[in-house]
Amino acid sequence: MALDPAYLEYQRRRYGMDHDRYEWSMLSRRAPVAWPNGARVALWVNVAVQFFPLNQRGKPFPPPGGMSTAYPDLRHYTLRDYGNRVGLFRCLEALDEAGVTPTFSVNAAIAERYPQLLERLNRRGNEILASSWHMDTLHHGDLAMDDERELINRSLAALRAAVDEPVTGWLGPARSQSGNTPDLLAGSGIRYMGDWINDDMPYPFATRHGELIALPLSLELDDQFIIQNNLHSEWEYADQVKDACDYLLAEAGKTGHGRLLALSVHPWMMGQPHRIGAFESVLKHISEQTGVWSAPASDIVAAWSDQRA
């Protein structure tokens, strides 16, 4: 039976995108972006500071890295806790040794559960962006708008009260969003979000409360995705990140267009004693390359925004 032509007829069907959130735009055809000091690649290292509740509901899906056995799942809970007690400090030492500037995505429950840890991060002066309340407060289509607004505002209020610098960035737990999330974020003073990963550069994202900037945080180069999902070793992870760095540098040099290298790091994973060496080798390789600008996420957004046509 032939497909009814009406099946392909809908209100927003047109060339390019079938929505109004962002414009159809291929990276190769955009105006070039030049990063500060002649850098070819902007480096965003996002360190995830997370709280996984022991009594996880797991709705509408269990968060990546969340509890996976019957309550009380102490095996996984304490491993995630290890990241905040031990692994994070190894990662910080490695970052500082390489001269790489981190940005921290923080579940707001950290302000309640680990206040001394958040204060220590605050004293470093590195940027902190919000990552909802904890890893089980997922944003999804069945979440009522008023409930989601309350969740976002509660998370932002807790973090903004605990840190000195403005909190203007957002990364949803498991990169989760509902159809309302971008609008609610923009209405709460968020300037950029890392959940949309469909590009190698920032791009403008329309909301009912003005523009957000989508700053893509690569999933393909996420340590948890590579090691836990793809079942690669930590040294295979290191090789992939180094390859990505070298390729982006070469591509930027050939095209004259700046590129973004965005890495998501989980201390409960890369802060393990058998993995930290691989992370150190990644940072050493990147820091030794000419043309890499290590910067906070908001500085990358600002540098890109200043050059928009």
Mean pLDDT of 268-274: 98
The CATH class that applies to domain 36-305 reads: alpha beta
DSSP annotation string for the chain: -PPPGGGG--TT--SS-SSSSS----GGGSPP---GGG-SEEEEEEEEE----TT----SSPPTTS--SSSS-HHHHHHHHHIIIIIHHHHHHHHHHHTPPEEEEE-THHHHH-HHHHHHHHHHT--EEE--SSTT----TTS-HHHHHHHHHHHHHHHHHH-SS---EE--GGG---TTHHHHHHHTT--EE----S-SS-EEEEETTEEEEE----STT-HHIIIIIS---HHHHHHHHHHHHHHHHHHHHHH---EEEEEEE-HHHHTSTTTHHHHHHHHHHHHTSTTEEE--HHHHHHHHHTT--
Q: Please tell me the pTM assigned to this model.
A: 0.95
Residue ranges per domain, the chain?
36-305
Q: What is the tens place of the pLDDT at every residue in 9-65?
A: 777 777 888 889 999 999 999 999 999 999 999 999 999 999 999 999 999 999 999
Q: What is the tens place of the pLDDT at every residue in 153-211?
A: 999 999 999 999 999 999 999 999 999 999 999 999 999 999 999 999 999 999 999 99
In this predicted structure, the answer to whether residue 260 has a pLDDT above a threshold of 60 is: yes
Query: pLDDT at position 14, please?
Result: 77
Q: What is the tens place of the pLDDT at every residue in 59-113?
A: 999 999 999 999 999 999 999 999 999 999 999 999 999 999 999 999 999 999 9
